[in-house]
Structure 1
Amino acid sequence: MISEPHTPVTIVGAGPVGLMLANLLAAYNVPVVVIERHHTTVQEPRAISIDDESLRALQIPELDAALKATCAMDYGSVYLGPDRQPFASVSPTSAEYGHPRRSAFAQPILEAMLAENLGKYPHAQIRFGEEVCAMEQNDESVQLTIQRHDGGQYVHTSQYVAACDGGRSPLRHMLGVGMHGNTYEKKWLIIDLKGTHDNFRQTRVYCDPRRPGINLPGPNRTRRFEFMLLEGETDEQVTDIDFVRRLLRDHGPDEHIEIVRKQVYTFHARMANEWQKGRVFLLGDAAHLTPPFAGQGLNSGLRDAANLSWKLAAVLQGRLPPKALGSYQAERPEHAWQLIEMAMTLGKIMMPGTLLKAKLIQAAFRALRWIPPANDYITQMRYKPKPRFTKGFFVADGADPRNTLVGRMVCQPILERPDRSLIRLDDLLGNDFALIACHTNPAQAFEGMPLLPFEQSLNLKRLCVTPRFYNPFPAAPGATHTVRDVSGEFERHCPGAQDIWLLVRPDRYVMACIPRKNGDQTVKQLNDLLQLV
């Protein structure tokens, strides 16, 4: 059996999460190999909703603009009662992280785009038609026994392995990692259409106990319906073409258009008991299974990739100690489970057990319209858990967890450079750590800054942001860039920023708030945490 030279990272599974992780690692200059048992990326419709955090992560491999050109951008939802009359709507207008809160995309397009983009990196490759059939690991490496489509086998050795191999995850089973959570009793029929005649661009949610369902618009005149199976209905019955056509007739003008896919699914709300075992990490559906009611399954997987990728890169390149990898398990599960809980809550609204429950839910939501803060909570999608960590790879500042900037994703405002050209925050920061100062006078932006012993090792970029009503004079002393907060977004989302320096990680989470007064203690804590080699 042939053995290969060591690879820094091997990814098992070339779905959207595996390919995203590969692109991020390649962008961070880490050699990577992707193993995929199928012969191509997915060709049929799968996930169809992408959020602002995922689009932001796609900025790192510079794919966000290309994907957005294929998306139906910025859409919301309308909730309909059994009488088909709207009783609630969700239509967020904010773009705190630089992109619309919710857009429709096509998973085959995203996967093809990610796979093609890997071709520009000489240190990245995808091996289709190969399957992992055994795995062993020790303190130094992971050995994968891989079977090719022709039946031949070889041994592939890596420093780290990422299991992105789906909900049934063979690697998770090889590791002996169990899952906890629930499986929904009711099955759902998924119908994907091409060439819709319905030009309504919001999602319709049918909160009808007689047949709960969802009607989702997609890009390029595609449309998806999801209907709950009723008691006694079989998979064969509901996928019969006449049955499907009747459902379509009752829900719009698309009874006779092309059906791309019709399939029955069982939904899950489950999570792996461990996300890291030795040198192997679980990501995406291998780590968590999310009901589709909030469109967060794929997005949670892309968050996993964004969180783990820069840590692997920094450890492999000797800029962080290996213990930093343990923060993946510390940070990601809590937020992922919050999104699972949100999806389950939305499912209860969508699936009222009786007409009485449906009417009570409608009445409650209609009453909220008269309470502006409560109405905004719904319409602006503020019920979605914020991207923040309560524990992990950062230095807490002792502030209330609900108000602190530490452990939270920093906003992404539009900024103005001294030549008056506009740029997004992340496009300035690139792929490294950043130190951000907010100051009216760029010349004083970094005055009094304690010595940062880790600055060179982290390749730290310094950025001065002037408030909205102050011009960005040429770069502040010691700063890489000076820019202006065009609309006041940075000040609004980072209150008190003029009293601190923000240390931001490559995944755009705030690692520390260094006080302008007495910042030495925070710097010492950071240095202890980083323990650079």
Structure 2
Amino acid sequence: MNSEPLTPVTIVGAGPVGLMLANLLAAYNVPVVVIERHHTTVQEPRAISIDDESLRALQIPGLDAALKATCAMDYGSVYMGPDRQPFASVSPTSAEYGHPRRNAFAQPILEAMLAENLGKYPHAQIRFGEEVCTLEQNDACVQLTIQRHDGGHYVHNSQYVAACDGGRSPLRHMLGVGMHGNTYEKKWLIIDLKGTHDNFRQTRVYCDPRRPGINLPGPNRTRRFEFMLLEGETDEQVTDIDFVRQLLRDHGPDEHIEIVRKQVYTFHARMANEWQKGRVFLLGDAAHLTPPFAGQGLNSGLRDAANLSWKLAAVLQGRLPPKALGSYQEERPEHAWQLIEMAMTLGKIMMPGTLLKAKLIQAAFRALRWIPPANDYITQMRYKPKPRFTKGFFVADGADPRNTLVGRMVCQPMLERPDRSLIRLDDLLGNDFALIACHPNPAQAFEGLPLLPFEQSLNLKRLCITPRFYNPFPAAPDAAHTVRDVSGEFERHCPGAQDIWLLVRPDRYVMACIPRKNGNQTVKQLNDLLQLA
């Protein structure tokens, strides 16, 4: 068999997570090869919900605006009882991370967009119609035996491999990595429609023990229904066209429109026991399987890609020590499991079991309307776990984990440049590390900052943000940009920002808060973490 030269990163699986990882690595100037056993990206509907964190990650390869142009942006949910009357609603209005929190999209469009964008990078390629047969690794590289579409084989060598090959992940099985968690006893029927006559743009959640279901609007007059199979119903029975038409007749005006897909699924709440084994990493469904009740399965996978990509790039380029890669396993599973638990909780609300339980749940939610903080907690979707880590590649500041900025995703406010043009934070930061100062006098923004030995190796970009009522002049010394916090959002989400310098990672998580008073200890800890002492 022929053997190829060493590739820095090989991604197995050209789904949305694999293609996202490839685009991020390519944007970070890392050569990458994607191996995909199918001959094209997915052509049928799959995931349909994309959130603010995922759209933010798409800013790095510059695809957020293009995807948003194809989305149904900023929608909520209405929870309905057996009588089809609403008893709760979720309609978040905040955009802390620069994008609406809930949006409907089409996975085939996203995959095609990611694949096409990858073509602009000479150091990136996708190999469709090829399948990994074996995997071996040592301390220096991973060796894959790959079968081409013509039946021939070759050996592909890579410094690192990302397994983005789905819930059944052949690579996970080759590695001998097991999973823990649960599989739902009840199956669900998924129906995708085209040309809906229903113009209601919120999700309807039918919390009816007689037939739990979801009615989700999509972009371009698409619509998805999900219905739980009842005791004794078979896959063949519920996918029969007459059965499907009857369900549609009972849930709106779309009985006779085009059915794009009808398929029965089993839902899982499971997670891999290991996310890294040697030089191989698990991402997306290969690492975690999330019930669809919160629309977070794909989004968790895109978070995996955002977390791992910059670490791989920095290690391969010699800017970070290899131990930084171990933080992927430290950081991601906890947050991914929190989202799985949230989905399971929402599932319990959707599937009350009996009419009595349904009525009790409705009564409880209606009572919460009279308690503004509790009602706000639901309607503004504050029950969704915040993107933050309790352990990982950062320097803790000793503050209460609920209040610290360290390990949390920094907000993305709209900022005003000296010429009064507006720009989002990430569009200023670029793809590298950033040091953010918040100060009313830009001339003093970085006064007293200790020497940062890692500034050059991290390609650190300095940014000065003036508070809302202070114009962004004069330009802060040594800062790439001096801008104004237009709405006060930065200080609102980062209380005490004028007393610290924020070191922000390429994935927009705060790596450290360097105090303006006695910051030397934090800098020493950063040196130790980066092995630069």
TM-score grouping bracket, smaller chain normalisation: over 0.9
Q: Distance in 2 between matches of 1:236 and 1:86?
A: 32
- The superposition leaves residues 66-93 of structure 1 with CA deviations (integer Å, 9 ceiling, x where unpaired) of 0000000000000000000000000000
Would you say the 8 A contact 2:443–2:474 is kept in 1?
Answer: no
Distance 1:265 1:149 in 2: 29
Q: Which runs of 4+ in 1 moved over 4 A?
A: none
Match of residue 299 from structure 1 = 299
Count how many residue pairs are aligned between Structure 1 and Structure 2: 533
Aligned residue in 1 for 2:371: 371
Partners of 1:474 and 1:304 in 2: CA distance: 40
Q: Who is 1:85 aligned against? A: 85
Whole-Å separation in 2 of the counterparts to 1:498 and 1:532: 27
Cα deviation code 1:338-397 (max 9, x no counterpart): 000000000000000100000000000000000000000000000000000000000000
Give the 3-state SS of the residue equivalent to 2:132 in structure 1: strand
Q: Distance in 1 between matches of 2:59 and 2:448?
A: 33
Contact 1:457 1:532 in 2 (8 A): no
Alpha-carbon offset, residue 532 of structure 1 = 4.4
Are the equivalent residues in 2 in contact too, given 1:319–1:532 (CA < 8 A)? no
Give the CA deviation at 1:149: 1.0
Q: Is the 8 A contact 1:276 1:282 kept in 2?
A: yes
C-alpha contact 2:98 2:412 (8 A) present in aligned 1: yes
Q: Determine the C-alpha separation between the residues in 1 that align with 2:400 and 2:15.
A: 38
Q: Contact 1:418/1:474 (CA < 8 Å) preserved in 2?
A: no
Given that 2:4 and 2:156 are in contact with CA atoms closer than 8 Å, whether structure 1 keeps it comes out as yes
**Contact 1:75 1:102 (C-alpha < 8 Å) held by counterparts:** yes
TM-score relative to the length of structure 1 = 1.00
- Matched-pair contact (CA < 8 Å) for 2:453–2:532: no
Contact 1:397–1:512, Cα closer than 8 Å, also in 2:
yes
1-structure distance, mates of 2:266, 2:50: 21
3-state SS of paired residue (2:360): helix
Cα-to-partner distance string for 1:311-348 (whole Å, 9 max, x where unaligned): 00000000000000000000000000000000000000
Question: Which secondary structure does the structure 2 equivalent of 1:449 belong to?
Answer: coil
Distance 2:321 2:92 in 1: 40
The answer to whether the 8 A contact 1:7-1:158 is kept is: yes
1:529 to partner: Cα distance: 0.1
- For residues 24-46 of structure 1, the C-alpha deviation after alignment (integer angstroms, 9 at most, x for no partner) is 00000000000000000000000
Query: What is the CA–CA distance in structure 1 between the aligned matches of 2:455 and 2:203, rounded to whole Å?
Result: 47
Between the aligned partners of 2:474 and 2:389, the Cα distance in structure 1 is 35
Q: Is the 8 A contact 1:408 1:509 kept in 2?
A: yes
**1:531 Cα deviation (Å)?**
1.1
**Alpha-carbon distance in 2 for matches of 1:252, 1:219:** 18
The alpha-carbon deviation at position 483 of structure 1 amounts to 0.3
* Mapped partners of 1:76, 1:532: distance in 2: 47
Q: Return the alpha-carbon distance in structure 2 between the equivalents of residues 301 and 475 of structure 1.
A: 39
CA contact (8 A) 1:216 1:223 kept: yes
Q: 2:339 corresponds to which residue?
A: 339
Say if 1:320 and 1:532, in contact at 8 Å, map to a contact too. Answer: no
Q: Offset of 1:475 from its aligned partner?
A: 2.0
Normalising by structure 2, we get a TM-score of: 1.00
Contact 1:163/1:280 (8 A) holds in 2: yes
Instruction: Return the offset for 1:507.
Output: 0.1
CA contact 1:82–1:209 (8 Å) conserved in 2? yes
In structure 2, distance between residues paired with 1:20 and 1:380: 28
Structure 2 Cα separation of the partners of residues 308 and 474 of structure 1: 38
- Note the alpha carbon deviations across 1:281-301, whole angstroms, 9 max, x for none: 000000000000000000000
SS of 2:454's partner is coil
Which structure 1 segments of 5+ residues have no match? none
- Contact kept, 8 Å, 2:187 with 2:264, in 1: the verdict is yes
Q: SS of the counterpart of 1:281?
A: strand
Q: Find the residue that maps to 1:17 and give its secondary structure.
A: helix
User: What are the Cα deviations for residues 3-24 of structure 1, in whole angstroms up to 9, with x where unaligned?
Assistant: 0011000000000000000000
Q: Distance in 1 between matches of 2:341 and 2:34?
A: 32
Per the alignment, residue 243 of structure 1 pairs with 243
Query: What aligned pairs does 1:190-269 form with structure 2 within 5 A after superposition?
Result: 190-269=190-269
SS in 2 for 1:132: strand
- Provide the secondary structure at the position in 2 that maps to 1:34: strand
CA deviation digits over 1:139-173, x for unaligned, max 9? 00000000011100000000000000000000000
The C-alpha deviation readout for 1:371-429, integer Å capped at 9, x for no partner, is: 00000000000000000000000000000000000000000000000010000000000
CA contact (8 A) 1:321 1:532 kept: no
CA root-mean-square deviation: 0.6
Alignment partner, residue 148 of structure 1: 148
- Alpha-carbon shift at residue 480 of structure 1 (Å): 1.0
Question: CA offsets per residue over residues 257-316 of structure 1, 9 Å max, x none?
Answer: 000000000000000000000000000000000000000000000000000000000000
Aligned partner of 1:456 in structure 2 is 456
Q: 1:91-147 CA deviation, whole Å, 9 max, x = no partner?
A: 000000000000000000000000000000000000000000000000000000000
Query: Shift in Å at residue 479 of structure 1?
Result: 1.0
Q: Distance in 1 between matches of 2:151 and 2:532?
A: 45
CA distance in 2, matches of 1:531, 1:311: 15
Aligned match of 1:486: 486
- Distance in 2 (CA, whole Å) between partners of 1:76 and 1:232 is 33
